[in-house]
Amino acid sequence: MLQQVVDGNAEPPVRTLVQYGSLLKFVGENEQAFSVLDRAVQRYNDGLVFSSEDVAMVAMASWLLGNFHDANSLFDEATRANPNNLEAHTLWADLFLEKYNAADAERGYQDALDLNGRHVPALVGMARVVGDERSLQRALAINPNSILALETYGQLLMMNGREDEAQEYFRQVLALNPESLKTLSVLAAKAALEERMSAYEDYRQQVEAFSPDNAEFLGHIADSFGNNYRFTEAVEYARSSIEFDPEYWQGYTLLGSNLIRLGEEEEGRRNLEIGFDNDPFNVMTSNMLKVFDTLETYATVESEHFKVHMSERDSLILWPYLEPLLEESWTTLSAKYNYEPEGKTLIEVFEDTADFAVRSVGLPDIGPLVGICFGKVITLISPDTLTANWQEIVWHEFAHVITLQMTDNRIPRWLSEGISVWEEREGRSYWGRSQGLDLVRAAEEQKLLPIGDLNSGFSGAQNNADLSFAYFQSYLVVDYITETYGFNKLVDLIYEYGEIKEESERFRAAFDMSLNEFDGGFQRWIDQRVQEINVYAHTEDVPDEGEGHGHGIRENSSAILAELYNNASLKQHMRSRIEENERDFQAYLQLGIVLFKEEAFAEAKQYLEIAYEMLPSYTGYPSPALVLSQIYDREGNQEAKLQWLETLLENLQHDYGAAIELAESALAAADYERAAYYIDRAIQVDPYRNDVHELKARYAEAVSDSALAVTEYEVMMQLEISDPVEARTNLAEAYLNNGQPGQAKQNLLYALEQAPSFERAQRLLLESVAGESGQ
């Protein structure tokens, strides 16, 4: 019918031209499609398009022709000509969303909804931007047969691990339209990911029947593999999409982005540039290329098993501490799992969090994550922007390198994350997560997920607390496996994921029991763990608040409120809670804090010590150990204060101040082993502060380690220093003591240029000159 209207009319309606051209393009008749679409554009160029509705159709024609900037300008013109044109607002937003410009897409959909809150395409578009089920439910209430709403809902459910529900929506879509490219692509991708290649081929043939050589179909498969960390296969499908249609510019973006996640940076960048040159409107492509510009300014440093891109500043400040940690992690974990990663692992450390996000996922907002491992590549946020233990994060991410490569990136997220969190505590006794109170609360509220649903704990997390607990429960499963069945069984399970099987088959092979039987054992183990913790979680207390990634200090908002509102009614309320349940940890803690604020130190200590004995591993802020150290500080009892700070750091890895204070005390007492330990603890949290490097330099001098002193003074020169002359002189003296008079002389000359009368520098200069002549 469209063909009859177009062929039988010298000037067919613009909308008909665009609809027919779109259909021709869909069925693979590109040459004829472009000819028809060009007619619509030419009509506009000849000044024969007047209405807002027709201008929006010309914008659509330009979009289909790949002229994205023209399409953008024409949609702008259409909405200016008629601000009430719902279709134009929605299509314009669709264009933005296709090009990963979520902010402008959301504005466009909202403009349409402001005009008509029941406009189904805009409701669906808003759901695609923000992942909101409510918008989709409303759209389907308005039009239960909206294919767009049904297939979008199915995709959202699939992403959140609710596959059975998703399949029902896809079934409805195909009943309404058996030629739904999006739905068939999703189903084909799922089949390919599960290596059900016969089913995949059936879906591909269905698409081939109505849209031959459809590059977009293969692009969706590539994208799905990439989103599931199967980058090698993603690259293969992306290459095929470009072979089908060399002008499928999104295919070049997919190919480039997945290549760089495999560490193939040169070829990846080359393909991204092809995509950008032909589609500069694509925000993801543009963003990733800008990050390459940033990387060109970075230094590249290497060790035996790692290649690292980082800023010049980090290469001077961070690398002296990062390099030995990386090699330790490689040696420890490769031996433990009897697996050596392929080649050198590429690590990129970004000073800017937006650069980190773009390099990782192509867009500047990545949520709470601070490190991502792709198998052969790790991206990290520079510790300079963190308040968490960066060494724990690095160890965590390298554990992913092992488990991902052991399974060709097939290991599910819950198990890989669970192992990485478990390996934190294995790496250092004070690393890892202590969320006993959260476990008690989750058990009481029956929020623990079945093992088969653990991935949904990540994909369906509604807030940081949910995400943090998903990490923790995954860790608990790994802890259960190693404690109950032994570490070798954990390794067996990892390798089971290297093959495509049903989940129950993997657990049967590894543990000789069904998944349900294993899950039952885990739940009983959890019940025992909760009984051992033996604390009461009151319903009026909220979970500690921290970053979703779980690294860093978690704030106890209830205890913080107790610090702010220390009054008689709060004290009475906490006493009442203790009378109701003597295992109410938070009540003891909050009452102790209120009494501390009132300077009733003796009584405060009683309640805080009970709280500590009740849950000694608790590390929320403020914790019993922290407040007790503050009480003893106020009482002038330095010995007791330091003892409680030591207790605090037995479980808490993120407290810089406590580590510094303990290091200073140990150094003053000439307890060099303890001094070195706590200095290292401080560097693990923040290597960018002068005081920790000054302490380490003093320690080095005390133990006559001149090479270490040089390292520390060199690092200090890269930091903000109040007295550059003194710092240069200290560095020069370290060089002299390390047998490097030439370097000493160079730094002393610089110092004396700034302060010619500085006697210490003058004396050391004479020594350095004498040292040079004696060499």
Distance (Å, whole) CA 198 – CA 218: 16
Q: Are residues 194 and 125 in the same domain?
A: yes
Determine which of 153-167, 513-527, 563-577 has the lowest per-residue pLDDT on average. 563-577
Distance (Å, whole) CA 576 – CA 572: 6
Site of tokens 């207390």: 541
Q: How confident is the model at residue 8 (pLDDT cuts 50, 70, 90)?
A: low
User: Residue 249 pLDDT > 90, yes or no?
Assistant: yes
Q: What CATH number corresponds to the domain at position 394? A: 3.40.30.160
Cβ atoms within 10 Å, residue 774: 7
Tell me, what amino acid is at 243? E
Site of tokens 């004995």: 613
Distances (CA, A) of 64 to 56, 69, 206: 13, 12, 23
- What confidence tens digit (pLDDT) does each residue in 582-624 have? 999 999 999 999 999 999 999 999 999 999 999 999 988 899 9
Does residue 718 form part of some domain? no
User: Residue 560 pLDDT > 80, yes or no?
Assistant: no
Q: Are residues 222 and 254 in the same domain?
A: no
Range of the domain at 11: 2-235
pLDDT at 466: 86
User: Residue 687 pLDDT > 70, yes or no?
Assistant: yes
Residues 6+ apart with CB under 8 A from 231: 225, 258, 259, 261, 262, 374, 375, 409
pLDDT at 721: 87
- Report residue 381: phi and psi, to 5°: -85, 135
- What confidence tens digit (pLDDT) does each residue in 211-244 have? 999 999 999 999 999 999 999 999 999 999 999 9
Q: Pull the structure tokens for residue 209.
A: 């029947």
Does residue 276 form part of some domain? yes
Total number of domains constituting the chain: 5
Does residue 153 form part of some domain? yes
Q: Are residues 311 and 199 in the same domain?
A: no
User: Residue 677 pLDDT > 80, yes or no?
Assistant: yes
Q: Pull the structure tokens for residue 92.
A: 């314009």
Determine which of 153-157, 228-232, 767-771 has the lowest per-residue pLDDT on average. 767-771
Task: Please name the residue ranges forming H helices in 428-514.
Answer: 436-444, 454-459, 464-484, 487-496, 503-511
- Report residue 653: phi and psi, to 5°: -100, 5
Say if residues 263 and 376 touch (Cβ distance below 8 Å): yes
Q: Which helix (H) or strand (E) holds 345?
A: strand 345-350
Q: Are residues 401 and 371 in the same domain?
A: yes
Q: How far is CA 508 from the centre of its chain?
A: 32
Rg (CA), the chain: 31
Q: How confident is the model at residue 369 (pLDDT cuts 50, 70, 90)?
A: confident
Do you find a cis peptide bond into 622, omega within 30 degrees of 0? Answer: yes
Q: Are residues 292 and 303 in the same domain?
A: no
pLDDT at 564: 64
Say if residues 266 and 279 touch (Cβ distance below 8 Å): no
Q: What CATH number corresponds to the domain at position 27? A: 1.25.40.10
Say if residues 639 and 623 touch (Cβ distance below 8 Å): no
Q: How confident is the model at residue 774 (pLDDT cuts 50, 70, 90)?
A: low
Q: Are residues 421 and 529 in the same domain?
A: yes
Residue 660, CA atoms < 13 Å, CB-side half-sphere: 15
Q: Are residues 591 and 580 in the same domain?
A: yes
Cβ atoms within 10 Å, residue 331: 12
Listed residues 638, 654, 670: the one ending a domain: 654
Q: Are residues 270 and 357 in the same domain?
A: no
pLDDT at 634: 97
Helices (H) and strands (E) counted in the chain, each on its own, are 42, 5
Tell me, what amino acid is at 22? S
Say if residues 232 and 201 touch (Cβ distance below 8 Å): no
Q: Are residues 427 and 535 in the same domain?
A: yes
Listed residues 375, 406, 437: the one ending a domain: 406
Measure the CA angle with vertex 297, ends 294 and 301; round to 5°: 110
User: Residue 368 pLDDT > 70, yes or no?
Assistant: yes
Straight-line distance from the first to the last Cα atom of the chain, in angstroms, rounded to the nearest whole number: 95
Tell me, what amino acid is at 432? G
Does residue 420 form part of some domain? yes
User: Residue 550 pLDDT > 70, yes or no?
Assistant: no
Q: Which residues on adjacent β-strands are paired with residue 347? A: 308, 378
Q: How far is CA 385 from the centre of its chain?
A: 14
Does residue 698 form part of some domain? no
- Who wins on pLDDT, 327 or 769? 327
Say if residues 411 and 403 touch (Cβ distance below 8 Å): yes
- What confidence tens digit (pLDDT) does each residue in 712-728 have? 999 999 998 889 999 99
Does residue 721 form part of some domain? no
Q: Are residues 540 and 587 in the same domain?
A: no
| CB contact burial 86-108 (16+ within 10 A = b; e otherwise) | bbbbbbbbbbbbebbbbebbbeb
Residues 6+ apart with CB under 8 A from 291: 355, 358, 359
DSSP state, 450? Answer: P
- What confidence tens digit (pLDDT) does each residue in 292-326 have? 999 999 999 999 999 999 999 999 999 999 999 99
Look at the chain and count its residues.
775
Listed residues 339, 374, 406: the one ending a domain: 406
DSSP state, 385? Answer: G
Say if residues 8 and 16 touch (Cβ distance below 8 Å): no
User: Residue 5 pLDDT > 70, yes or no?
Assistant: no
Question: How large is the average pLDDT for residues 401-417?
Answer: 96
Distance (Å, whole) CA 90 – CA 111: 8
- What confidence tens digit (pLDDT) does each residue in 70-89 have? 999 999 999 999 999 999 99
Does residue 114 form part of some domain? yes
Q: Are residues 518 and 456 in the same domain?
A: yes
Q: What percent of the chain has pLDDT over 90?
A: 78
Q: How confident is the model at residue 498 (pLDDT cuts 50, 70, 90)?
A: very high
Taking Cα atoms as reference points, which of 447, 446, 452, 443 lies closest to residue 517? Answer: 452
Does residue 40 form part of some domain? yes
- What confidence tens digit (pLDDT) does each residue in 40-62 have? 899 989 898 889 999 999 999 99
DSSP state, 383? Answer: G
Residues 6+ apart with CB under 8 A from 243: none
Average pLDDT, the chain: 92
Determine which of 183-187, 462-466, 525-529, 665-669 has the lowest per-residue pLDDT on average. 462-466
Q: Are residues 319 and 359 in the same domain?
A: yes
Q: Pull the structure tokens for residue 606.
A: 């009683």
Distance (Å, whole) CA 140 – CA 150: 8
Taking Cα atoms as reference points, which of 491, 489, 515, 522 lies closest to residue 501? Answer: 515
Residues 6+ apart with CB under 8 A from 45: none
Site of tokens 């240029």: 753
Q: Which helix (H) or strand (E) holds 371?
A: strand 371-373
Taking Cα atoms as reference points, which of 681, 680, 739 lies closest to residue 712? Answer: 680
